[in-house]
Structure 1
Amino acid sequence: MNKFSFSFLLFLLLLTSSAFAQQLNLIQNIKGREFTSLNGQWNYIMDPYEMGYYDYRHMPFDQSASGKGGFYDDREQKNKSELIEYNFEYAPQLVVPADWNSQGDIFKFYEGTIWYRKKFSAAPKTDKKYLLYFAAVNYEAHVYLNGKKLGVHKGGFTPFQFDVTGKLNQGDNVVVVKADNTRKQDEVPTVNTDWWNYGGITRDVLLAELPQTHINDYKIQLAKNNLNRIEGYVQLDGKDLAQQITVSIPELKIKTTARADASGRVNISIPVKKMTYWSPENPKLYDVVVSSGTDEVKDRIGFRTIEVKGTDILLNNKSVFFRGISIHDENPLLQGRLRNRGDMRMMLQWAKELNCNYVRLAHYTHNEEMIRLADEMGLMVWAEVPVYWTISWENPETYKNAQQQMTDMVVRDKNRASVVVWSIGNETPLSEPRHKFMGNMAAYTRSLDDTRLVAAALEIHREGYDLIVDDPLGEKLDLVSFNQYGGWYWGAPKDLPKYSFKIKYNKPVVITEFGGEAVAGYHADDETRWSEEYQESMYKYQLDMLSKVGALRGMTPWILVDFRSPRRQHPVYQNFWNRKGVYSDTGEKKKAFFVLKNFYDQMQQKYK
């Protein structure tokens, strides 16, 4: 790292240190705690002019002297002459968790503000701590409890929480959320994407009850490239921090105890004599219990190592080929985000039917339940943040946002054996400001977790029939991972044998995207666009071309299943659908599915 880049990174770390301190305290394994679900029916008010947030001079009500006047007050009319221009009590309802776009035609393309309100009953205890936890709200969330503002969160795919200890009423309470999915140039992602901008409270809302001094965070994984040692830490939060902490794995007869230091932290290092390592062939998970004098948390954790040596990817010291596919967080059968474990299991099962051992969860942080299912089902995961296309590279606030989203993802998923790659972005165009931004992101991600691979989906450049991979960011990544769309956006399928790759880096090559669109059931010759035969032919020629890359160690073609996108407007073949799936939007396997599965069957035999 040059002097300027190091100074830039140091500046950003100092700039955002308080935000990191807040989010690094994000609770681990929220569903392993005592909690009350606030999911269900929430009243809502659509507010395209944001009259519930700004006065007529466009000043926020919650920043006025009184802090009153916004929809978050949830006022009720006291007498017949009082003027109130909203009413949650008579307002319609939306389901939470779910996006709003799929809950009525009026919402289909809506981008803007919707206010959510939920009434609930609580009986807070004086010896307990309470957290209001949101698994995701897209994109900017302002949260109020009983008329008082708790805070703001930006980022549509990562969890956030507020300490509401001492702020809950005995009995009736009300939480109001201003959710705004407006796209903006300086946000992450930026204005230009190729997926549906689903708005709303899209994941769980929970009220957690904890001991006043509780286990807030822990990491329990194998040490870097070491199959014989578990390393990690346990972090307490609260007042009485000098407690004995025990980590036990009963099946392995492991039990270790140590006293937390003054900050409530214990570092652990446990030798392992014999264990079953997690792998796609045998996704073994162990019951792990973390306890202190005042708290106990149970988890299911797998143990494995992942590393790169030369042009090989080693899983548990054995060379592996990533037989993968890309996936969006969307249910093709029922419009909208994946709503529950059943939806998510269906998507991962479709990947398993393709004989995948690996999935790329693009282009943002997916639901924690999806990662836990991947743990159970034996699918390695590429996990990504939405640094996508034309980010504002020179805006420090944009970098701060991207770094925070990476922090939240790593903090949440660091105990999941399935996650083998942290991705810092997708298809980002070359420029000096971008190199600094992305280089700093790579370094920061390694500082959070050095036990996994760090990568990004890069782009190729063509000169004649040469496909060139020479991105300066490649020096800072573990994989030569890139997207290319030969046979669809350039060249005809039958021309692909003429092309050859010139790759600068001596690292494992993982093709993060290739593909083309086909309408399921539309049949023609293999030169007719949009037909299954065209897509099938393109896959055959692509796989032949890619097989000539000696360092090829995996791929995630684009994409498992057709998905919705406002960018895709052809009225006959697309109609706001990206049709690059090997499954259709009704779950029908296209002809390309069988080409890819046959290739993966061969790779499975080769890498036994």
Structure 2
Amino acid sequence: MFFSRDRKSLCSLNGTWRFETESREEKGEQRFARDLDDSPWRTMRIPVNWHLGGLEDYHGRVWFRRRFRMGKGGTEYATLRFNGVDYICRAWLNDRYLGSHEGYFAPFEFNVSGILEDDNLLAVEVDSPWEKPEDWPNRKRIIKGVYGHHDCRPGGMSEEGQRWNTGGIWNSVELIFTGQVKVDSVMVLQDLEGSSARLRPSVLLRNLGKPVEAEISMRVGGCGFRADAGSVRRRVRMGHGTKRVDLGLTLDRARLWWQWDQGEQNLYLFDLEVRVDGETSDRVQGRFGVRRLTLDRGWNWRINGRRFFPRGTNVIHTQWLSEMDRRRYERDLRMVRECNVNFIRVHAHVEREELYEVADEMGILVWQDFPLQWSYDNGVVKRALPMMEEMIRTFFNHPSIVVWCCHNEPQEFNLRELDVALYRFARRLDPTRHVHLASEFREHPYPGWYYGDYHMYIGLPGSPCPTEFGAQALMNLGSMRRTFAPQDLWPPNWSKWA
């Protein structure tokens, strides 16, 4: 989950890292070792998807190393945080193995208390492989959605569609310094009761040391308007590891969040502090909105009790998340609003945190897909479930997100097993939102594009809520040059353009 913290508690590790590919690895070489001479290695500015950082069209393992100095003070309790690595990451600090993580979109952390020294060496192995020929394309195992396989990717839907790999340390890396007890996540559940909102924040705490007693206090105010829900305090006994603590507050005369064509985008700010032995151990701030969205069996949508008509579009802002930022998302969503659209579907992938922040502020509803595109081996379910939990926990507090969808265009064998498991798990994690089993082929009318003639629309009843339709259009020239190989641009290679 993404929070605001005092900058004094953060140390950025962004900047120039050294890197080398597995093809240059010497036999018996320990690339995590502090005494390894990495001066011949190439350099890359992190964060970046490696395709944009000088390692074009590469798939497989890449080693990254970063040396940094730390002062002796304030390092008793420290956490190493990666805000996004694509796809499998293993990390070492000062020759100590920290652990691993699989997935491309979620932040993850390692406790490095007691490992930091004056001079430090952080080594990271990132593996972003191709699917094996025996798995491609109907039994895929890598959970990257349209970033791994899609007809709009460079190379199309053939095996060449795996080219121009999205691997890399694409988001920031930082050290977080706290006291013994830190905040892992805050999920603000809510119930509207007349003009009031009953808030039920669920706080996940992590004790980095020995058993201890901690005091939690939380206050809620308005973003840009006066509002005070008062505060709540609780004392908890913490063993080593994590503990969930449930709080409760009431917002009188709550200001509701609406999409842009229905009302204002009111947002609230929570301020959560954890104290141990009278001293601040951790303090975080985050935003949320108060709204109720319902969807009945007839696919009638209502926000805060008012029925509305969803006017949506699918979005894939880029193939490389490191090149996106708040300014580009603001530009894209301004164009969405200018098209009179009030709903976007983040199509079979997960975006950066900044997209959802901008959607909250601009009043754009979000249908959020889990990153599954077409067919997968059902055995991936054990690895997919933790990623589903990461997606829901990371983006839970965004009022713009109103739908979780488990899979895009699955085959029947996935619908019966993989998608049912994800659906049940998501419903249990988030009872406040609509969970859609899958965006199926029958929801996607494409006459005049993949088949038939566009006049067939006249005879189409369609599904209650088509989640894809229409025709693709050529992008602008700059985007085409980034997406297509030079030999496919001119003369036009119609097999790639179409």
TM-score scaled by structure 1? 0.68
Compared with structure 1, are the counterparts of its residues 485 and 410 closer, same or farther at alpha carbon in structure 2 (3 Å cutoff)?
same
Q: Which of 178, 202, 205 does residue 210 from structure 1 map onto?
A: 178
Compared with structure 1, are the counterparts of its residues 390 and 563 closer, same or farther at alpha carbon in structure 2 (3 Å cutoff)?
farther
Q: 1:436, CA displacement in angstroms? A: 1.9
Q: 1:36, CA displacement in angstroms? A: 1.3
- In structure 1, what residue type is equivalent to 2:337? K
Q: Which of 473, 481, 494 does residue 455 from structure 2 map onto?
A: 494
Compared with structure 1, are the counterparts of its residues 520 and 100 closer, same or farther at alpha carbon in structure 2 (3 Å cutoff)?
closer
2:494 & 2:50 partners in 1: Cα distance? 20
- Residue pair 1:32, 1:298 contacting (<8 A) in 2 also: no
- In structure 2, what residue type is equivalent to 1:70? Q
Tell me, yes or no, if structure 1 residue 29 matches structure 2 residue 17: no
Tell me, yes or no, if structure 1 residue 351 matches structure 2 residue 301: no
Q: 1:446, CA displacement in angstroms? A: 1.0
Partner of 1:381: 366
Q: 1:428, CA displacement in angstroms? A: 0.4
Q: Which of 401, 405, 408 does residue 383 from structure 2 map onto?
A: 401
- In structure 2, what residue type is equivalent to 1:322? P
- Bigger Cα displacement from structure 2, 87-96 vs 29-38: 29-38
Once the two structures are superposed, the pairs formed by residues 562-601 of structure 1 within 5 Å of their partners are: 564=483, 572-573=491-492
Compared with structure 1, are the counterparts of its residues 495 and 575 closer, same or farther at alpha carbon in structure 2 (3 Å cutoff)?
closer
For the aligned residues, what is the CA RMSD? 3.1
- In structure 2, what residue type is equivalent to 1:133? R
Once the two structures are superposed, the pairs formed by residues 439-518 of structure 1 within 5 Å of their partners are: 439-460=420-441, 469=442, 482-501=443-462, 503=463, 509-518=464-473
Please give the per-residue CA displacement for 1:415-443, whole angstroms capped at 9, x wherever unaligned. Answer: 11111111211110112x54122111101
- Residue pair 1:28, 1:218 contacting (<8 A) in 2 also: no
1:358 & 1:124 partners in 2: Cα distance? 50
Q: 1:500, CA displacement in angstroms? A: 3.3
1:369 & 1:520 partners in 2: Cα distance? 23
Please give the per-residue CA displacement for 1:300-332, whole angstroms capped at 9, x wherever unaligned. Answer: 22211122134211211111222222222417x
Q: 1:362, CA displacement in angstroms? A: 2.4
1:225 & 1:309 partners in 2: Cα distance? 20
Please give the per-residue CA displacement for 1:230-249, whole angstroms capped at 9, x wherever unaligned. Answer: 22222332256543322212
Compared with structure 1, are the counterparts of its residues 124 and 310 closer, same or farther at alpha carbon in structure 2 (3 Å cutoff)?
farther
2:435 & 2:349 partners in 1: Cα distance? 15
- In structure 1, what residue type is equivalent to 2:123? V
1:512 & 1:564 partners in 2: Cα distance? 25
- In structure 1, what residue type is equivalent to 2:346? L
Q: Which of 362, 379, 393 does residue 411 from structure 1 map onto?
A: 393
Once the two structures are superposed, the pairs formed by residues 62-461 of structure 1 within 5 Å of their partners are: 69-76=29-36, 87-104=37-54, 107-123=55-71, 125=73, 128-170=76-118, 172-184=119-131, 185-189=140-144, 192-194=149-151, 195=153, 197-223=165-191, 228-238=197-207, 239=210, 242-250=213-221, 251-263=226-238, 264-281=243-260, 282-293=264-275, 294=280, 295-311=282-298, 312-330=300-318, 337-393=322-378, 395=379, 398-431=380-413, 434-460=415-441
TM-score scaled by structure 2? 0.82
Q: 1:375, CA displacement in angstroms? A: 1.5
- In structure 2, what residue type is equivalent to 1:29? F
Unaligned runs of 5+ in 2: 132-139, 154-163
Partner of 1:593: none
Tell me, yes or no, if structure 1 residue 44 matches structure 2 residue 19: yes
Compared with structure 1, are the counterparts of its residues 260 and 179 closer, same or farther at alpha carbon in structure 2 (3 Å cutoff)?
same
Q: 1:225, CA displacement in angstroms? A: 8.7
SS in 1 for 2:52: coil
- In structure 2, what residue type is equivalent to 1:272? L
- Bigger Cα displacement from structure 2, 404-413 vs 239-248: 239-248
Please give the per-residue CA displacement for 1:136-172, whole angstroms capped at 9, x wherever unaligned. Answer: 11111121212222111111222211111111112x2
Q: 1:562, CA displacement in angstroms? A: 11
- In structure 2, what residue type is equivalent to 1:223? D
1:378 & 1:361 partners in 2: Cα distance? 15
- In structure 1, what residue type is equivalent to 2:383? N
2:365 & 2:32 partners in 1: Cα distance? 43
Q: 1:134, CA displacement in angstroms? A: 0.9
Q: 1:279, CA displacement in angstroms? A: 1.4
- In structure 1, what residue type is equivalent to 2:348? H
- Residue pair 2:229, 2:250 contacting (<8 A) in 1 also: no
- Residue pair 1:243, 1:292 contacting (<8 A) in 2 also: yes
Point out the structure with max Rg over C-alpha: 1
2:85 & 2:342 partners in 1: Cα distance? 30
- Residue pair 1:380, 1:419 contacting (<8 A) in 2 also: yes
- Residue pair 2:268, 2:289 contacting (<8 A) in 1 also: yes
- In structure 2, what residue type is equivalent to 1:179? V
- Residue pair 1:286, 1:301 contacting (<8 A) in 2 also: yes
1:254 & 1:386 partners in 2: Cα distance? 37
Compared with structure 1, are the counterparts of its residues 123 and 457 closer, same or farther at alpha carbon in structure 2 (3 Å cutoff)?
same
Aligned sequence identity (%): 24
1:323 & 1:206 partners in 2: Cα distance? 39
- Residue pair 2:85, 2:167 contacting (<8 A) in 1 also: yes
Q: 1:30, CA displacement in angstroms? A: 6.2
